[in-house]
Amino acid sequence: MSPVILFTFVIAYFLLLLGVAFYTSRNANNETFFSGNKNSHWALVAFGMIGTSLSGVTFISVPGTVEVANFSYFQVVLGYFIGYFVVAYVLLPLYYKLNLTSIYNYLYQRFGIYAYKTGAIFFIISRTLGATLRLYLVINVLQLFILDDLGISFHVTAIIILIMILLYTFKGGVKTIVWTDTLQTFFMLLALVVCVFYIMDDLNLNVASALTKLNESGHTQIFNMDGWDKKFFLKQIIGGAFITIAMTGLDQEMMQKNISVKTLGGAQKNMVLFSTVMVLVNFLFLLLGGLLFLFAQAKGLTVKGDDLFPTIALHSLPAVVSIIFIIGLISALFPSADGAITALTSSFCIDILGVQRNETLTEQKKSHIRMTVHLLFAVVFLLFVYYFKYLNNKSIIGILLDIAGYTYGPLLGLFAFGILTRYKIKDKLAPVICLTAPAICYLFQLYASSVLKMHYQIGIEMLLINGMLTFLGLWLIREKTT
């Protein structure tokens, strides 16, 4: 497939996003950017969140893991499903009751300014690292399979894509993203379904016979029963549940879209629908990974890992499927970056700079601050993308889960202590506790096997351990009064 033709479709797709942005950002103000005027339809939010949650990591990396890890990732997905119900029926009622724009304002009302700022900073660090890592993965695929052939360097590609994202999020914010994410989710799922059914047709298989063939080779194995292993099923399910609670329920980007729905009931319907579809979609990605393995085996291809899906889609499938794959790939790219930049801008403006609390600022001044912060985060994203390119590490999912464990753990502990106890804390000590907990986790992970001679491998449960240590630390600095 000609790189020029593929690149033409990338540009056409971006122009479509610009058209949606122009339509949705008419008469937009700061409230539109931050919360969508709390007028988003729950079904649109639910569908669009699928694209945000999946991102380029799921689109590229999950299929590539099946050959080595079988269907074991589905253990984490089952945990996700449990976690979404906790978010829907524990956290969302709290956010709606307090009428929050930034969810970290709960920490301000519950504990004080230091806990509030600490929570917001941990979100900003975590989302910046996670979003730029996802962005790097997809840009790298576009670079290797299209733009290198056109003589465009990786550094130029990253700049162009971030300018694209800025152009369609700059004014409309959340209101625009609800619609663009819906569009992008549709194209991502279209690419998934088309690739699954084309490969099955090429191999003369249907879903049942494909699963039978994969089962014979052991690739459909889901549950790992080795209690000492990182992928032990209880660790994966419990860890997956807490990852959802932390990375969705305590994440400003994900919750910013949810609380833009007019009513709590609508937001809860959104979460239930979203969680059900997510389980089915992730299973389809694992099935796709198995089919790609069978296809590569049948055609004598040796490509593996993150390169498996794009290599087969662009070099071994018909042109129309290659085009759909590229559109699906860039659809996986934009939701993970546009929502992140918008949420980070919102959190920094509201939580760190306090623009909504400052009554001396005019609407025009607030808009100027917001736009400046938005641009600065785009520059930060660019620098981190360059850094990940320099590192060139292929284990994207493992890095993402490590980042989540260290940075969302203190958030989990802060919110859990606020919801499960009635104690106040010595607010000024909150940052100390939230820095100490992940430091202890890091030391334990580093020396558990070499110094303590333990065979136990810390995996996805790092998030829970970190959260529990934060909770314990907050208990030690609690005030005597409730």
User: Does residue 134 lie within any of the structural domains?
Assistant: yes
User: Does residue 325 lie within any of the structural domains?
Assistant: yes
Is 207 a residue whose pLDDT tops 60? yes
Q: What is the mean predicted confidence (pLDDT) over 55-81?
A: 81
Q: What is the DSSP letter of 249?
A: I
User: Does residue 434 lie within any of the structural domains?
Assistant: no
Per the structure, the complete domain to which residue 377 belongs is given by 3-423
Tell me, letter by letter, the H, E, C secondary structure of 86-115: HHHHHHHHHHHHCCCCCCCHHHHHHCCHHH
269's CB contacts (< 8 A; 6+ apart) are: 42, 46
User: Does residue 455 lie within any of the structural domains?
Assistant: no
User: Does residue 436 lie within any of the structural domains?
Assistant: no
State both tokens at 257: 């879209």
Comparing 180 with 77, which gets the higher pLDDT? 77
Q: What is the mean predicted confidence (pLDDT) over 222-232?
A: 77
Task: Report pLDDT digits (tens) over 34-49.
Answer: 545 555 666 667 677 7
Q: What is the DSSP letter of 36?
A: G
Place of tokens 């540009």: 11
Type of residue numbered 93: P
Name the residue among 394, 439, 423, 460 with its Cα closest to residue 112: 423
Paired residues of 478 in beta bridges: 425
Task: Report pLDDT digits (tens) over 380-429.
Answer: 999 988 988 887 765 555 666 677 778 888 999 999 999 999 999 999 99
Q: Cβ distance 199 to 44 under 8 Å? A: no
Task: Report pLDDT digits (tens) over 270-328.
Answer: 888 888 888 998 898 889 888 888 888 888 877 777 778 888 888 888 888 888 888 88
- The predicted pLDDT at position 170 comes to 62
How far apart CA 438 and CA 467 sit, in angstroms, is 9
How far apart CA 213 and CA 216 sit, in angstroms, is 5
Any alpha helices (H) in 421-479, and if so which ranges? 430-447, 462-476
- The predicted pLDDT at position 395 comes to 56
Provide the number of structural domains found in the chain: 1
Kindly report the average pLDDT of the chain as a whole number.
81
Name the residue among 388, 386, 322 with its Cα closest to residue 154: 386
User: Does residue 103 lie within any of the structural domains?
Assistant: yes
405's CB contacts (< 8 A; 6+ apart) are: 441, 460, 462, 463, 466
State both tokens at 64: 């590539």
Place of tokens 């249907």: 206
Is 151 a residue whose pLDDT tops 60? yes
CATH at 76: 1.20.1730.10
User: Does residue 433 lie within any of the structural domains?
Assistant: no
Type of residue numbered 425: I
Question: What is the pLDDT confidence band of residue 112, given thresholds at 50, 70 and 90?
Answer: very high
User: Does residue 450 lie within any of the structural domains?
Assistant: no
How far apart CA 262 and CA 273 sit, in angstroms, is 17
Q: Cβ distance 426 to 149 under 8 Å? A: no
Task: Report pLDDT digits (tens) over 439-475.
Answer: 998 888 777 666 555 566 666 678 888 999 999 999 9
How far apart CA 409 and CA 460 sit, in angstroms, is 11
